């Protein structure tokens, strides 16, 4: 699973696949039961940095917020949610921690929990296996309190629809043995490999075919492992933002391919890519062009576009600075080399307290992202001891 490999690659540059967790081991299966309301469930969603976020009121009367991560083999919840809704373990030794491998190959261990119930609208999933994780940093970064991440196996008994253009989550009963829907215009239905409990589909780059993970837990476009392939670049690859995963930081390489990507009949012209040495994947930056339905009873995924013609991807604009956000200040994580920012008096660890003269707590994620897309330059105010210093930083096309 991909659990945010770097928060906010575009404007802030720290998370890209829901915290970078790829596969887990040692998680035991428990009896599950899923109840779907007769007419199905439809919930409004919010796209934040291309992450698919939904809210749902639970039976305690409170509303909880989750990221939907089809690239994740397990679910993640806050310690608070685990305490309130976790099944109390039987007396005896404490359950063994679950080892989880991050997107850059490192490994950490997290506490397991079984949730009595996970509710999404009128649909409930009982006895859900999860692990416990503190989402404070991610919540601060996205300006949203995040209570958890729901992984792909939770939806194995339902039809899961992530309607990116319509900003809606759909859940419907899966009917094994029912005839498959007829293919329609602008629609592609592809078989996926579900042996790893995540959807793996074949795609084609130029004349070469390879396998990618359909990963709604990534905010990126195409994360490409070039091993065995021959990608041609129209721009780059070049150093990008710093990727902070659970097991360490590493620089990203990014660029734009000169080739066409085919997802079934859907054409993506010269996609923006991030290079990886892990499994290739397609994330929210690309998926947001589609309404995506997963049917695990058939191991099929259907991608529907609202318009004709190829998918085109806008340039990635960037100030060259990666930040970790907090309500009081933004800390510089890194400066992209060979950019205008690299020639300015800014370095990792510097604390930014104002943006264009306003305190950083006034800059929500969405507002700052909009500034990146439109501004020619941004003035950051850095705190050095007791003194404040304004630094004017040009915004440029990291990937033209």
**What's phi and psi for 133, nearest 5 deg?**
-145, 145
Whole-number pLDDT of residue 241 = 81
Closest alpha carbon to 185 in 289, 6, 309, 294: 309
Going by C-beta distance under 8 Å and a sequence separation of 6 or more, which residues neighbour residue 64? 55, 56, 57, 58, 81, 147, 148
- Contact (Cβ atoms closer than 8 angstroms) between residue 197 and residue 302: no
- ω into 237 cis (within 30 of 0): yes
pLDDT band at 3 (very low <50, low <70, confident <90, very high): very low
What one-character DSSP code corresponds to residue 340? G
Whole-number pLDDT of residue 249 = 62
Q: Which tops the pLDDT comparison, 298 or 7? A: 298
- Alpha carbon distance, N-terminus to C-terminus of the chain: 30
pLDDT tens digits along 87-124: 987 777 778 888 876 655 567 889 999 999 999 999 99
DSSP 135-173: -HHHHHHHTS---EEEEGGGGTTEEEEEETTTTEEEEEE
Q: Which tops the pLDDT comparison, 233 or 59? A: 233
pLDDT tens digits along 54-97: 999 998 999 999 999 999 998 999 999 999 999 987 777 778 88
- Which tokens hold the place of 157? 């008994």
Give the mean pLDDT of 230-248. 80
Per-residue pLDDT at 231 exceeds 90? yes
Q: Which tops the pLDDT comparison, 248 or 320? A: 320
Q: For 377, how many CA atoms within 13 A lie in the half-sphere containing its CB?
A: 8
C-alpha 367/C-alpha 337 separation (Å) is: 26
Residue with tokens 């370095």: 347
What is the set of domains in the chain, with CATH numbers? 21-173 (2.40.70.10), 187-312 (2.40.70.10), 316-399 (2.30.42.10)
Instruction: Tell me which of 26-30, 69-73, 189-193, 199-203 is least confident.
Output: 26-30
**pLDDT, averaged across the chain:** 87
Burial track 183-201 (b if 16+ CB lie within 10 A, e otherwise):
eeeebbbbebebeebbbbb
Q: What distance lies between CA 65 and its chain's CA centroid?
A: 15
């Amino acid at each position: 699973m991909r659990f945010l490999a770097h928060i906010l690659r575009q404007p802030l540059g720290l998370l890209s696949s829901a915290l970078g967790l790829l596969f887990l081991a040692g998680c035991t299966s428990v009896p599950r039961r899923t109840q779907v309301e007769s007419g199905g469930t439809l919930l409004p969603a919010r796209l934040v940095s291309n992450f698919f976020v939904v809210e749902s009121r639970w039976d305690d009367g409170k509303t909880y917020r989750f990221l939907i991560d089809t690239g994740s083999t397990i679910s993640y919840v806050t310690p608070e949610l685990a305490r309130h809704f976790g099944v109390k373990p039987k007396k005896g030794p404490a359950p063994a921690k679950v080892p989880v491998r991050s997107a850059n190959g490192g490994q950490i261990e997290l506490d397991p929990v079984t949730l009595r119930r996970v509710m999404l609208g009128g649909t409930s999933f009982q006895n859900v296996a999860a692990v416990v994780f503190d989402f404070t940093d991610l919540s601060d970064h996205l300006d949203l309190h995040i209570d958890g991440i729901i992984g792909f196996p939770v939806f194995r008994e339902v039809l899961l629809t992530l309607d990116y253009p319509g900003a809606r989550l759909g859940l419907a009963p899966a009917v094994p043995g029912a005839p498959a829907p007829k293919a329609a215009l602008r629609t592609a239905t592809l078989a996926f490999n579900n042996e790893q409990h995540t959807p793996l589909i074949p795609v084609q780059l130029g004349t070469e075919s390879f396998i990618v993970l359909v990963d709604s837990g990534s905010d990126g476009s195409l994360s490409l492992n070039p091993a065995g392939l021959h990608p041609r670049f129209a721009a780059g690859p070049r150093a990008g933002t710093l990727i902070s995963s659970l097991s360490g930081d590493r620089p990203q390489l990014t660029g734009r391919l000169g080739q066409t990507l085919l997802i079934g009949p859907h054409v993506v012209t010269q996609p923006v890519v991030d290079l990886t040495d892990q499994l290739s994947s397609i994330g929210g930056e690309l998926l947001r062009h589609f309404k995506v339905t997963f049917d695990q009873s058939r191991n099929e995924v259907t991608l529907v576009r609202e318009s004709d013609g190829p998918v085109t991807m806008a340039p990635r604009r960037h100030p060259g600075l990666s930040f970790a956000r907090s309500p009081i200040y933004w800390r510089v994580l890194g400066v992209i080399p060979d950019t205008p920012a690299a020639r300015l008096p800014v370095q990792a660890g510097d604390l930014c307290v104002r943006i264009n003269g306003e305190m950083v707590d006034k800059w929500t994620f969405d507002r700052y992202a909009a500034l990146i897309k439109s501004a020619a330059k941004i003035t950051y105010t850095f705190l050095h001891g007791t003194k404040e210093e304004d630094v004017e930083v040009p915004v440029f096309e990291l990937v033209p």
